[in-house]
Structure 1
Amino acid sequence: MDTLLSLRVFTEVADHKSFTAVADRMGMSRAMASKHIQHIEARVGARLLSRNSRNVSLTEAGARYLVTVRRLLEDLSDAENLISTDTLVPRGTLKISMPVWMSTPAFARMLSDYHRDFPHVVFDFDLSSHKINLVEEGADLALRVAFKLDEGLIARKLSEVTFQMVAAPDFLDHTTRPQTANDLIDAPLLAYSPVASDGRIKFGGSEGLDVKMRPVMVSTNESHLHLSALSGMGYAILPNWMTKGDLDAGRLETVLPQVTWPKLHVHAIYADRSYLPAKVRSFLDFLASKQGLESGLS
């Protein structure tokens, strides 16, 4: 059998988790797609996919093998482009995972600027805060402010974001504008569950916060917390990228502006490889440039 084709079938099945869908996409029967997987498994002497009547998933060996195979196929594709055009033209689908709070009008304008320069790149975004497996989920990049790198991944620092406590003016008018951290004890908190699900807010030194608030909402979705803060439901700690427009327009106020709020770095996380596909490299360079993340969200 054509081993290269078998490798392509393997990566497609790993991405789409369906033999039927991949067979339709690649113009072959489901039985033939299965034979290609069996061919690869026989060559490596290991089971790469677990499958039953309803589900297809990577085995541990399959996940490790996919890292090398995906790099091989991407490098081959780039090599073919290099030979045919004498240059690497960014093209194809660029899959990016990032938290929903990064989806701002300024970020959208920045993507539009990139698209004008590289019209053959198609964006595919996963807007969530959960840590993803870049290899298993087929993502090219993850944009994160907090992370623990898995083996085979590297990070590139892009920009900085400040998280600060905000509340709606009407809410503050009907309660009180806190003057010290103690004024927030037992105050209603719209809590980001991975950080403060119990209502404990603690960071910084003598000018920081160490206070127990009262959660009235717990969520992993920053947009939901943002909307609830705008509606006057309570206090929320949100990134300035998300709240800048509301603060400028007076729809939200910064609580305890004298506090030194935490600043975190935004990183691009991607698979470590000797040669990045043109679509990934060009987008990373764009984010790091003066036209990229820093200026696009200031």
Structure 2
Amino acid sequence: MDRIDAMRAFVSVVIEGSFSNAATAMQLSPQLVSKYVSKLEERLDIRLLNRTTRKVSLTEAGTHYFEHAQQVLLSIDDMESKLGGFQQNPKGTLRISAPVSFALKHMAKLVTDFQTLYPSVNVDLQLNDRKVDIVEEGFDVALRIGQLKSSSLIAKQVAPVRVILCASPAYLDKYGVPSKPEDLKNHRYLHYSYMEKYGKEDIYQWLDTTNQPNSELSSNNGDLLVNAAVAGAGIALQPTFIASEALSKGALMMVLPDYEPETLGLYAVYAHRKLLPHKIRCFIDFIEGYYGSPPYWDESIQHL
């Protein structure tokens, strides 16, 4: 008896609810499915299923075996999918959703390098700060920034994302350099409304509501706020992948670096699939580590 086939038969019976339904799903006869499960129980010397004329149900041992069997079969399918991909070149259209500012600054070269390595893959890169529904909207991969909550999607971290307070030297010369969080209440604050999508309700969580800085300008676009900060409009809260160029040139300075918020993450998110298409697998493997550790946009400001 093939142990893996018997395991698949057992898992299918549990998922489909009966031997006949499992046989249909596996394109086997009900007799063969029943034989596989019986032989599996004999080999394990334990009953996995309670059988009646109307239904089957799991025994306590069957419940434990089912959980582990599912994991084993998924690992086998994933391994075979990866190995099979070595024998073929990925092709087709890869649909990617990505945040606007990040994609404009850091994805053109990545896509170019990816297509140089995999020329048969067409890339459809859609920029949107809205949280897209990958399955409903037909995306293969979405890049998301934040502290991701648990979901049915698979998420692989691509790079850490630092978030810092910054202002221009001219602004700080005029209004003073904050030395502690409470000093922010006397400053002009450039509010990044997209920060809520990053999983941060308010970056100034160490202040009570009466000490919040004044929000002189609010926008959902980080590039605009960085440009406003460079022009002396106030103190901005920004991811370093947007602000690093201005910081490295000295057009902006970090504010309260000792109170830097918790690092977020850039994630590649994709739907769980039994057999992941090779084009998606290749992209996930390609983007992992692409930006470096630390990311190249942070290397230029490490000394600041």
- Inter-partner Cα distance in structure 2 for 1:276 and 1:153: 13
1:100 and 1:128 in contact (8 A); partners too: yes
Distance 1:128 1:86, change over 3 A: closer
Aligned alpha-carbon RMSD (Å): 2.8
Distance 1:175 1:226, change over 3 A: same
Question: Is 1:193 matched up with 2:193?
Answer: yes
1:129 and 1:221 in contact (8 A); partners too: no
Residue type of the alignment partner of 1:121: V
- Inter-partner Cα distance in structure 2 for 1:183 and 1:215: 14
Match in the other structure for 2:217 = 217
1:167 and 1:254 in contact (8 A); partners too: yes
1:98 and 1:143 in contact (8 A); partners too: yes
- Inter-partner Cα distance in structure 1 for 2:207 and 2:109: 35
Distance 1:225 1:171, change over 3 A: same
Match in the other structure for 2:149 = 148
- With the length of structure 2 as denominator, give the TM-score of the two structures: 0.61
Question: Is 1:255 matched up with 2:217?
Answer: no
Residue type of the alignment partner of 1:202: Y
Match in the other structure for 2:157 = 157
- Inter-partner Cα distance in structure 2 for 1:114 and 1:181: 43
Give runs of aligned pairs for residues 74-223 of structure 1, distance below 5 A: 87-103=87-103, 105-146=105-146, 147-150=148-151, 152-195=152-195, 201-203=203-205, 211-223=211-223
Secondary structure at the counterpart of residue 242 of structure 1: helix
State the 1:217 CA deviation. 1.7
Aligned residues: 209
Match in the other structure for 2:277 = 277
State the 1:293 CA deviation. 5.5
- Inter-partner Cα distance in structure 2 for 1:103 and 1:138: 19
| Structure 2 residue runs without a partner (length 5+) | 1-80, 300-304
Computing the radius of gyration from Cα coordinates, the structure with the larger value is 2
Segment of structure 1 superposing worse, 125-134 or 277-286: 125-134
| Structure 1 residue runs without a partner (length 5+) | 1-78
- Inter-partner Cα distance in structure 1 for 2:103 and 2:194: 19
- Inter-partner Cα distance in structure 2 for 1:234 and 1:86: 53
Distance 1:260 1:100, change over 3 A: same
